[in-house]
Structure 1
Amino acid sequence: MKNIAILVPEQSVLQAIADPQYCFSAVNEFLVRSGGAPLFHVELVGLNPEVKLNDKRYSVFPDQLLPTATSPDLVVIPALFGDMKTAVEANKAYIPWIKEQYESGTEIASLCVGAFLLAATGLLDGKKCSTHWGFTNLFRELYPEVEVQDGTIVTEENGIYSSGGANSYWNLLLHLVEKYADREIAILTAKYFAIDIDRDSQTAFSIFKGQKTHQDDAVRKAQEYIEKKIEERITVDVLADEVAVGRRSFERRFKRVTNNSVLEYIQRVKVEAAKRSFETTMKNITEVMFDVGYTDTKAFRTTFKKITGLTPIEYRNKYNKLARMN
C-alpha cells in the first residue's frame, strides 16, 4: 500500500487537488475489479481544518492537519493560483515539513505551478524541473538555482517529480501510476480519463511573449527591433550596431537577461508570428514562411518543429478549423 498525501495549500487550484485524488482512487477501483487489492491510501493534508478556494466558493476539509500528519510515501503539491510570491508566502508553513519528508525518504511531486512552492524548499536547487510554460520567466527569476525544462511535460530527478502546465499534470499522474503499479494499469487509466499517455511536450501550447522584465535598455531596444522587422533576415551584427554595443558584450547581455541567445530569440519571435498566421489565416506554408523572413523551406520547417514540436502543416491543421475542413 502506497500512502499518498495531497496537500491543500491556500490559494491552490481545486481541480489540482481533486484530480489526483480521483486518479489514484480510480486505480484502486480498477485493481479491485480485477480481483486485486487497492494500491493507494490517499489523504488530504492541510494547515487548517477548512481551506476555502476559488474566491471562497468552495471548501476543502483535509483528512489530516500538518502538525500531526503521518509520513507518506508520496507528497503531491497541487497547482497554486494568483500571484506566485503571495501564494508561496501563504503556504510557507509547509516548507520545513516537505523538506523533512523528502529527507526521510518520501518522494515529492509538484503539479504545474505547484513547482513554485516546491522550489521554495530548496530541494530543487541544482535539479531539473518542469512547470507551466507561461511562468518559466518568473520561475527563473525567483529560483535561479533550478534548471527549468522548457516545454517538458514530466521531469523526474532523485525522487522529485514535476509537470508542465495546466492539464499536463495528468501525464505526471499517469507516470506515477505506471511507476507504482505497472504499464497495463497506466494505459487503462489513460484510456479511462482520455489522456494521451506518452505526450512529452507542452511546446505546441506555449505562447512566446519575450522576456522584457529586465532593466537592460539596449537589449530591450534590440527585442523591439526584432519584433518590428519580423519579415527581415536579422543578424547579430545588425542588432549590435542598432543599439551601439560591441557584439560580444551584446550577446552576453542578451543571453543573461532573456535566457535565450540572440539567434534563439529571433527564431522564437518569428515562429510565434508564423503560429498566429497559421491559426487565423488561410495562407499556405510558403507565404507564411516568407512573411516571417525565411526563404529556405527546410530551415523554416526544422526551426518551427524544434520550437513547437509540430511541423507547420501539423500546427495549422491542429489550430485552424477552416484549414482542417479544406
Structure 2
Amino acid sequence: MIKIGILLTKQYKLLSLAAILDVFETANKLHTNFGKNQPYSIDLLAFDKNEDNTFRQYSIKLIHSELDYDLVIIPAFTTENLQEAISFNRQFIPWIQNQYSKGAEIATVCTGAFLLGASGLLNGKVATTHIDASDAFANAFPAVKLMANKTVTQDGRLFTSGGATSSFHLLLHLLKIHCGKDIAIKAAKIFAIDMDRNNQLYFGSFLPLRIHNDDLVASAQEKIETNYQDISTIEEMIKDIPSSRRNIVRRFKLVIGITPIAYLQRTRIEAAKKLLEQTAEQMSEVIFKSGYNDPKAFRKVFRKSVGMTPTEYRDKFRTR
C-alpha cells in the first residue's frame, strides 16, 4: 500500500485539498469494485495541533512523528502573497527534505510549488506552477528550470502541476504510475478530464504588479499601458521619464520581474486576446490595434506567448 501524506499547510486552498482526496479515494473505490486491495492510505499532516475539522474522517498527524511516506503532496495556497505563505509554512521544509532523502515522491499542486521551491529540492530541476504566478516563481527561484507552459512536470521523484484543473492532470499522472493506465483512464472519465492537455499558457492573464513604492517604474508602466500601440523602443518609453535607459531597465526588472520591452510585448498580447475574445474584428484590425505592423511577427509572438494561434484562441474563448 502506498502511504500518502498531504500537508495541511497554513493558508491551504480547500478546493485543492478536496480534489487530492477525491481522486485518491476514487482510485481506492475502483480497486475495491474490482475485488482488489486499496492502493492508498491517506494521512493529513500538520506541524502543530490543528483545529481544522473539515476533514475529520482522516487521521491528522504531526510531522515530527516517526512515520515515513511514499508520496507527500503540497496543496495550493489561497494567498497571492506567496513569500508570506512560505514564511508561515517554513517549518514543513526540513521535514519535506527528510522525506525526500528517504525516497519519498514529492508532488505540488499549483502554487504549492513555492514551498517546494523554498526547500531547494527543485534547484536544477524542471517545474511548473499556476501560469499567473510564473513570473513570481521564476524571480524567487532562478535555479529552477521553470516550464510555465506545462500542465504537469516530473523530474525524478518531484512532480508539479499548473493551476486549478491542472491538479487533476497531476493526480491522474500519479495514478497511472502507481495503479496503471486503466485506473487512470477510469478516473479521468469520472472527473471528466481530458488526459491529453499538456499546455496551460492560454489560461494565463497578464496581471502586472501595481502596488509598489517605485514612482519611476509606475510612470513607465503607465506610459507603456497608455501608448502600447505606438511605442516600440525603450527610448520612446522613457522619453519623458527622468531616468537613464540603464537605470529604468534595472529598476523595472527589479520591481516588476521583467524588462520594459517584455512588459510592452505582454501588454500588447493581452490587448489582442481581449479583442479576439470580445469582438468580431478582422484579424488585420486586431493586429493593428494591438500595436503590431507585421502579421507574421504578431502570429509568432502570439503563439509563443499563448500556446496557440490567434484563430485558435478566438475559437476557444470568444464570448460573442
Q: 1:79·1:113 contact (CA, 8 Å) conserved in 2?
A: yes
- Alpha-carbon distance change, 170 to 45 in structure 1, aligned in 2, over 3 angstroms: same
> Partners in 2 of 1:217 and 1:150 — Cα distance?
30
> Partners in 1 of 2:305 and 2:198 — Cα distance?
14
- Alpha-carbon distance change, 51 to 278 in structure 1, aligned in 2, over 3 angstroms: farther
| Deviations 1:50-79, CA, capped at 9 Å, x for gaps | 4438xxxx4655443222251111100111
> Partners in 1 of 2:136 and 2:301 — Cα distance?
25
Amino-acid identity (%): 37
TM-score, reference length from structure 2: 0.86
Larger deviation, residues 122-131 vs 286-295: 122-131
> Partners in 1 of 2:262 and 2:166 — Cα distance?
25
> Partners in 1 of 2:241 and 2:16 — Cα distance?
45
- Alpha-carbon distance change, 290 to 108 in structure 1, aligned in 2, over 3 angstroms: same
**What is the correspondence of 1:299-314 to structure 2 with a 5 Å cutoff?**
299-314=297-312
Letter in 2 for 1:201: N
| Deviations 1:257-307, CA, capped at 9 Å, x for gaps | 544455433221101011122222332322211111223333222221211
Larger deviation, residues 176-185 vs 61-70: 61-70
Which of 194, 206, 221 pairs up with 1:208? 206
> Partners in 2 of 1:253 and 1:133 — Cα distance?
24
Q: 2:110·2:129 contact (CA, 8 Å) conserved in 1?
A: yes
Give the C-alpha shift of residue 101 in structure 1.
0.4
| Deviations 1:237-261, CA, capped at 9 Å, x for gaps | 5346565766677666655654445
> Partners in 2 of 1:301 and 1:10 — Cα distance?
43
Give the C-alpha shift of residue 230 in structure 1.
2.2
Which of structures 1 and 2 has the larger relative contact order (alpha carbons within 8 angstroms, sep 6+)? 2
Corresponding position: 1:174 with 2:154: no
**What is the correspondence of 1:1-326 to structure 2 with a 5 Å cutoff?**
1-48=1-48, 50-52=50-52, 58=54, 60=56, 62-68=59-65, 70-82=67-79, 83-211=81-209, 220-232=218-230, 234-239=232-237, 243=241, 258-322=256-320
Q: 2:97·2:121 contact (CA, 8 Å) conserved in 1?
A: yes
- Alpha-carbon distance change, 260 to 85 in structure 1, aligned in 2, over 3 angstroms: closer
| Deviations 1:107-147, CA, capped at 9 Å, x for gaps | 11111111222223222233332222232343345444434
- Alpha-carbon distance change, 255 to 88 in structure 1, aligned in 2, over 3 angstroms: closer
Letter in 2 for 1:172: L
SS in 1 for 2:5: strand
Larger deviation, residues 169-178 vs 240-249: 240-249
> Partners in 2 of 1:296 and 1:145 — Cα distance?
36
- Alpha-carbon distance change, 32 to 190 in structure 1, aligned in 2, over 3 angstroms: same
SS in 2 for 1:316: helix
* Structure 1 residue runs of 4 or more that deviate by more than 6 Å after TM superposition: 213-216
Gaps of 5+ in 2: none
> Partners in 2 of 1:91 and 1:214 — Cα distance?
25
Q: 2:136·2:257 contact (CA, 8 Å) conserved in 1?
A: no
Matched positions, count: 318
TM-score, reference length from structure 1: 0.84
Larger deviation, residues 274-283 vs 207-216: 207-216
Give the C-alpha shift of residue 102 in structure 1.
0.6
Letter in 1 for 2:312: E
SS in 2 for 1:52: coil
> Partners in 1 of 2:66 and 2:74 — Cα distance?
15
